[in-house]
Chains A and B, each alone.
Chain A
Amino acid sequence: MAEAVIRVVGLGKSYETAAGLFPALRDVDLCIEAGEFVAIMGPSGSGKSTFMNLLGCLDTPSSGDYFLVGRKVAQLRKDELARLRNRSIGFVFQGFNLLPRMTLADNVALPLVYAGIEREQRRQRARHELARVGLGDYADALPSRISGGQQQRVAIARALINSPQLILADEPTGNLDSHTSEEIMALFTALNREGISIVLVTHEPDIAAYAARQVRFRDGRLVSDLPTPTQVLAAC
C-alpha cells in the first residue's frame, strides 16, 4: 500500500517560557493516509496549532520524528523545507493571511513565483485556481474589497496552486459565520474527493463532522482518534 502522507512518532514540543520549559505537545503518535480528511479538535491551549505548525514544517519538534510522505523532516535543510511548503503542503489559516497590497490573482500566484514558474503561466494558473473556488471574476481585486468567506476561498486557491498532496487548515472557519463556513467546508469536501489529504483544526463539532476521522487533543496529548480505522493501526 502507498506511503502514509503523515506519520509522527513520539512527537513532542516544549516552549521556553519565563516559568521554564512548557510542554505544549507530548508524545504524539499519529498516522494519516493519502486521501484522508481528518479533523483535529480539543480545548483551547491543548496544542492543536503547535501540532499543525510541526506538520507544516514551520516549526521543529523538541522530540520524536515526523515523516512526510516517508521523508524524515528533521534531516532536511531549510531550503528543502521551503520547497516542501511550496510544493507538497498547502496552508489555510484562520486569519486568511493574504498580502493586502497584492491583487487576488497575484496572491494566488505567489507560491508559483517561489517555484520559478514563468509569468504568463502564473497568471493563467492563478485565474484557473480562482475560478475553481468560484472567484473567477475577482482576479484584479484587492483582498480588502472582498468578504471574509471570499478571502478564505482565495487563501484556499493559493494553497492549491502548486497541486499539493496535503492541505493543513488551522481553524479555517474560525472567523466566518455558519453559512459561509458551510460553503468553505463544501469546498474542502470537494477537494478531498479529488484525492487531496486534509487536516483541519476546529472547535465546532458540526464542522468536524465533515471529516471522516476526528482526532482529539488535551493538554498536549492525543486522547482520542475516532473512528480509528483498523487498517491505519495496522499500517503504523
Chain B
Amino acid sequence: MLRAMLGEAWQAMGANRMRSVLTMLGMVIGVGSVVLMMAIGQGAQYAVAQTISSMGSNLYILISGSTSAGGLRSGGGGGPTLTVADAEAIAELDGVSNVAPVQQGTQQLVYGANNWSATVVGTTPPYLDARAWTIVSGYPFGDSDVRAATRVALIGQTAVDNLFGSDDPLGKTIRIRQSPFVIVGVLGKKGQNLDGRDQDDTVIIPLTTAQRKVFGNPFPGSVRLIMVQATSAEAMPAVEKSMTALLRQRHRIREGQDNDFYLRNLAAAADSAAETTRVMSLLLGAIASVSLLVGGIGIMNIMLVSVTERTREIGIRMAIGARQQDILAQFLLEALMISVAGCLIGLFLGIGGALLTNALTDMVIVISGASILVAFGVAAGVGIFFGYYPAHRAAALDPIEALRHQ
C-alpha cells in the first residue's frame, strides 16, 4: 500500500515537473540557508569559546587610575597607582590563586637583521598559570629571575615565525631597546583574544627587567596592571569585594571617594561575548527559518491548487473505494515528498555553501550532525504541517460533488 502510494506521489510530482521543482525551490532555499546560517553561527560560537578558553579562566585585571565620567584618568601624582606590594597583598586573600603584576607595551624586537614589533609583557611567574599559557619548548623563568632582573625571555609563536622563520629560537639572543635577551622558552599557541588581537605576538620577560631595561619606569615598584585569578567562578564575587576593600584601605581612600584603580572582570566580558555570539547565531537561524516558512507556504499553495485541479480524480478514487484517510495520506505524502526532496537538495547546497565560505574566508564554520538533523526534521514538519490542510480539504470532499467537478 505504502509503496503504491509512494509511486503515485512520485508520478504526481513528475506529471507537473516544472511546478514541483519551483515548489521545491522554496524548501531548497529555506533549508540551505538554515544549514549555512547555523554553520556560520555555530562557527562563531566555537571561535569565541576557543578565544575564551585561551584567555584563562576566572580572571580580573586591575588597572591603575580611576573611572569617572571622562573614562579612565590617572590617579594622584600621575604615575601608576598600583604597586607590586599591592599584588603581593592580594595574593594573600582567600579565593585568589594567582596574582601577577604586569607592565606591558609594544616594542621593536631585533634578531640579526630581522625586525619585528610585538607586545612585550613584563611580569612574574604566576602570569603563565593565570593565563593558562603553556611552554612548548624550553622552560619558564622563575622568581629568582625576577629578583635578579635577568635578561631572559619567553617568546610567542607569531614573534617566532617573524623573527626566526624555521630556526629554533631556544638559546638565541634577541634585542629589545638595545638590551640583549636570551630566549629560554617558547610559548604555546593561543590565537586571537576577544578584541581580535593576536595573543601569540608576545614576548614575556621578568617584570623587574622590563621596568629597568625596556620601559624605564620612573616610579619604581608601581605597575599599570595586576592580573588576578580567582580559584573558581563561585569565588569571584567574594574576591572582587575583598580585593576592592583591601586596595581602598592600602591606598587610604576615604568613604565616598572614587577608587584610584579600575577593576575589569574578564570572565564577565567572556560571558557577554559568548552570549552575543549565541544570540547572533540564534538570530541567523531565525532569519533563515523565515525562508523555510515561506517555502512551506509555497507547498501549501501548490497543494491547494493541486487538490482543486484534481477534484475529479479524487471523486473517481472515492467512487472505487478510497477512504478519507487514503486521500489524506496520498496528498500528505506528496507534500512530504516535495519538502523532503527540497530538504535534501537544500542540505547539499547549504553544506556546499558552508564549505565554500570556509575555503574563501577565514570564518570558522561548524557543520554539526545536529543542525542537519534539525533542518531535516523541520523540513519534514513543514511538509506535514503545510501539507495537512490541503490534504484534509481533499479528504473531506463529498464523493458525488468531487465526481461532478469538471
Q: Is A190 on the interface with B (CB-CB < 8 A)?
A: no
Indicate if the CB atoms of A82 and B400 lie closer than 8 Å: no
Given known contacts A53-B400, A85-B318, A119-B4, is B15 in contact with A101 (CB within 8 Å)?
yes
Contacts of A115 in B (CB 8 A): 321
Q: Which of B317, B319, B322, B326 contacts A56 (CB 8 A)?
A: B319
Contacting residues of chain A (85-141) with chain B, CB-CB under 8 angstroms: 85-87, 91, 97, 99, 101-102, 110-111, 113-116, 119, 122
Q: How large is the interface on B (under 10, 10 to 19, 20 to 34, 35 or more residues)?
A: 20 to 34
How many angstroms between the C-alpha atoms of A99 and B8 in the bound complex? 11
Indicate if the CB atoms of B11 and A58 lie closer than 8 Å: no
CB closest chain-B residue, reference A115: B321
Given known contacts A85-B320, A101-B15, A110-B320, is B399 in contact with A58 (CB within 8 Å)?
yes
Q: Is A83 on the interface with B (CB-CB < 8 A)?
A: yes
Q: Is B273 on the interface with A (CB-CB < 8 A)?
A: no
Indicate if the CB atoms of A113 and B4 lie closer than 8 Å: yes
Given known contacts A97-B316, A99-B313, A113-B4, is B400 in contact with A58 (CB within 8 Å)?
yes
Main secondary structure of the interface of B (DSSP, over half): helix
Q: Mark B1-30, 1 if CB is under 8 A from A, else 0.
A: 101110000011001000000000000000
How many angstroms between the C-alpha atoms of A53 and B401 in the bound complex? 11
Contacts of B324 in A (CB 8 A): 78-79, 82
Q: Which of B1, B12, B325 contacts A113 (CB 8 A)?
A: B1
B389 to chain A, nearest CB (A): 20
Contacts of A78 in B (CB 8 A): 323-324
CB closest chain-A residue, reference B319: A91
Chain A interfacial residues counted at CB < 8 A: 26
Contacts of A183 in B (CB 8 A): none
Q: Which of A58, A79, A91 contacts B323 (CB 8 A)?
A: A79
B404 to chain A, nearest CB (A): 9
How many angstroms between the C-alpha atoms of A102 and B316 in the bound complex? 13
Q: Is B293 on the interface with A (CB-CB < 8 A)?
A: no
Contacting residues of chain A (35-83) with chain B, CB-CB under 8 angstroms: 53, 56, 58-59, 78-79, 82-83
Indicate if the CB atoms of B321 and A87 lie closer than 8 Å: yes
Q: Is B403 on the interface with A (CB-CB < 8 A)?
A: yes
Q: Is A158 on the interface with B (CB-CB < 8 A)?
A: yes
CB closest chain-B residue, reference A114: B321
Given known contacts A116-B1, A119-B4, is B400 in contact with A97 (CB within 8 Å)?
no
A-side interface residues toward B, CB under 8 Å?
A: 53, 56, 58-59, 78-79, 82-83, 85-87, 91, 97, 99, 101-102, 110-111, 113-116, 119, 122, 158, 162
Interchain residue pairs A-B with the least CB separation, the first 8: A86-B321, A82-B323, A114-B321, A59-B400, A58-B400, A111-B320, A58-B399, A97-B316
Can you identify 26 A-B contacts, CB atoms within 8 angstroms?
A53-B400, A58-B318, A58-B319, A59-B399, A79-B323, A79-B324, A82-B318, A82-B326, A83-B323, A85-B318, A85-B319, A86-B320, A86-B321, A87-B321, A91-B320, A97-B403, A99-B316, A110-B320, A111-B320, A113-B5, A114-B317, A114-B321, A114-B323, A114-B326, A115-B321, A162-B321
